[in-house]
Amino acid sequence: GDFDDDDMDGGLCSEVCEMIEDAGPSGPPVLIASGYSPAEAAKEIRTMTPKFNANDERRVTRATEHYEPYIDFDLLLERTSTNIEVLDVEGAIA
């Protein structure tokens, strides 16, 4: 959404607000923790209990269904896999 001075009670100057707004949806994610110093906000994040558990099949399925349309799996695999040549039992490249 758009930011204005009334939304920025956390002490962000207008220049920072403008940078956030100019970045738009393609910019980096921004967390505004009004009322916390950076150290306090980091501690709150570090000590929070996540609500997501990888063993919770229902939530994993819902998260997968939600994010899957936004993920280019071919590109992800291309950028994260290493080019390791696999040798068969006789030493030839498989």
Q: Is residue 68 within 8 Å of residue 74, measured between CB atoms?
A: no
Q: What is the pLDDT of residue 65?
A: 92
Q: What is the dihedral of CA 18, 22, 28, 29, to 10 degrees?
A: 60
Q: Is the separation of the CB atoms in 5 and 17 below 8 Å?
A: yes
25-51 exposure pattern, b = at least 16 Cβ within 10 A, e = fewer: eeeeeeeeeeeeeeeebeeeeeeeeee
The reported pLDDT for the residue numbered 88 is 60
pLDDT digits (tens, 9 = 90+) for 30-67: 888 888 888 999 998 888 877 778 888 988 899 889 99
Question: What is the helix, strand, coil percentage profile of the chain, to 5?
Answer: 50, 0, 45
Amino acid at 33: A
Give pLDDT, residue 40. Answer: 92
pLDDT at 86: 57
Residue 8 has pLDDT above 50, yes or no: no
Give the pLDDT score at 17.
83
How much is the pTM? 0.34
